[in-house]
Amino acid sequence: MPCTWPHPALTPTRPLRRSAPSSNRQRVKASKPVQQLFHGLSAAPGVGIGNIYKYAPVAPDDTGGTSAPPAGDPEEEWERFLAARLLVDEELARLAQIGQTATAEIFLVHREILHDSTLTDAVRAAIDAGSDATRATRQATGELVRLFQGLSDQYFASRATDIRDVGQRLVFRLGGITPARQLNPLPDDTILLAEDLTAFDTTHLDQAHVVGIALAASTPTAHTAILARSLGIPLVCSAGAEILQLHTGMFGVVDGIRGRLLVDPDEETLEQYELTRSRLRRFQAEALSQSHEPALTPDGERIPVRVNVNSREDLLHIHPNGAEGIGLLRTENLFQHRTSPPTVSEQLAAYQDVHSYTNNHSLTVRLLDIGGDKPVPYLQPPAEANPFLGVRGIRLLLRHPQMLIDQAQALIELAQNVSPVDRIRILIPMISKVNEVRQTLELLEEIPGYRHCRRKLGTLEVGVLIEVPSAALLAHHFAPQVDFLSIGTNDLAQYTLAADRVNSAVATLATPLDPSVLRLIALTCEAGRAAGIPVAICGEVAGDPSVQPLLLGLGLNEISVAGPAVPLVKSAIRRVDMDAARELAATALKCSRAQEIHQLLHDIG
């Protein structure tokens, strides 16, 4: 969803500005250029001010104007490719470990592409036909990109960017020219302007010097936007092809709050943007200084704010940011890149390690959510035209019940050695039918220690992840059978609006603030209240501080976000008047368009 200002009270009521370096300010005064304004979508919040650098990458199979070196022996070239692939695999593994949950998933997908036989077989064929490893890689990835871009199925068409990204990394390791070499080093206070960026481009940015990004295409849910948010770089996307007519060296402002790019802003606008950026920095500093205080509304309602975890690096965000435990632990890493499932003892050791970081707070573990889009070799899932609508999550686990039992057994053994305060919570993914909940609970009932931990010790809870519309519509049926509900708004919005959030042609439709999605959230919260159980939210929208009044007004009473967002979210919650929040939610549920809801959130500031 489009990102908004960290807190509505700080949203400006008129154009804003920041003072530029004196040389820039003198140049603006001397030439008196006409201010240009381009509207796009906010993808990463903040304000960036500086000089534009226009980035125009070459095609994936373009040599960049250089002649290819003579090819060596095919076996030698193949060994060069394999060595480069190993280096890329190690790089992607590192990136998956140091990123936040959403960024880690990007690089895990790229590792799957890297080892896919379709790519490697094409490279091998090109090498055998006489190409060197670098040219063969360019050729193979270029052909695959064009093939995927031409597919009518949008899921597979959207994978073209991921293939291009993997190709860039391979060419880079093979010593070839890659477009991202243009991105480092860059001058101080650079605003990077491009049609689009790949994850490879973004991770190779000179982060110390890039103050903002403006893209003609892309979406707020694309990989580039996710990475920009994790890096703290303001980004505006979908600004239109017109911005590609701008030139390197022009002075501009990236407004990641409102989704705008201003070029040659006037002095008053520039000064106001400086004021806005200063306010943002103060707000961030204040939030961080109070991060270990509980998130209490003025009405005295305490809202636990937890953290989403995918990697060890995410664990390091828990204590410094004041998170109250883990609201979502994704476990796919434990099961991928191995030839057999992890044993109960292996899983128990991993969960014990994770639990040690929770500071005596709860740990919510999502059961394995694997499928055709994230396969594991030992399961051999069937080929599916659309893996997102196929056998994944609980559907797959019920077909392989021993995997579910083993994972639950490890969590039950952990629950036998914790207190009710730092309890273990099992979260069931991809529920779409009441019968799936019943079948899962029946399997759990047969595991030794389950009843004792859940019903006597109070150290084990079971919940359902609401991420498809049918689950929200049926929540009142299975809420009485479980201990909590958790809403995954990323998938809920995607499935509700039939819009792939990584397909730039439709991704803007998949906003969690669409009235249809809000009504499903409200239904889920009503089911939770009726059953007397808490309802959490763990999607990206939960990390937007300005949306907290709406979320709390709808009835959500637990929040789980990326680690760095915890202080800002807690600070925003402390300002929420619950009566006003409920009125806001009631008004939002009467809206017919997402734009009306965005305006409501802006108006309360």
Q: Hey, what are 338's tokens? A: 């191995």
Establish whether 435 is an annotated binding residue: no
Dist. CA 187–CA 576, nearest whole Å: 42
The answer to whether residues 230 and 44 touch, using CB atoms and an 8 Å cutoff, is: no
Locate the DSSP E strands across 395-502: 424-428, 460-466, 484-487
Sheet holding 260-263, edge to edge: 36-39, 260-263, 251-255, 47-54, 190-194, 210-215, 235-237, 41-44
Please name the residue that has the structure tokens 């600070």.
571
Dist. CA 409–CA 367, nearest whole Å: 12
Dist. CA 430–CA 368, nearest whole Å: 10
Please name the residue that has the structure tokens 């943002």.
280
Query: Which value, to the nearest 10 degrees, does the dihedral of the CA atoms of residues 415, 421, 426, 430 take?
Result: -170
Strands 363-366 and 460-466, sheet pairing: unpaired
Establish whether 310 is an annotated binding residue: no
Establish whether 242 is an annotated binding residue: no
Dist. CA 214–CA 235, nearest whole Å: 6
The answer to whether residues 212 and 235 touch, using CB atoms and an 8 Å cutoff, is: yes
Q: At what angle do helices 133-149 and 74-98 cross, to 10 degrees?
A: 60
Dist. CA 172–CA 169, nearest whole Å: 5
Catalytic residues: 223, 538
Establish whether 229 is an annotated binding residue: no
Establish whether 490 is an annotated binding residue: yes
Element containing residue 26 per DSSP (H, E): helix 22-31
Dist. CA 286–CA 297, nearest whole Å: 17
Q: Hey, what are 561's tokens? A: 């976000």
- Which residues are registered as beta bridge partners of 461? 425
Please name the residue that has the structure tokens 């060296």.
249
Dist. CA 128–CA 133, nearest whole Å: 10
Locate the DSSP E strands across 278-392: 305-309, 326-329, 363-366
Establish whether 501 is an annotated binding residue: yes
User: Residues annotated as binding site for phosphoenolpyruvate?
Assistant: 330, 366, 490-491, 501
User: Residues annotated as binding site?
Assistant: 330, 366, 467, 490-491, 501
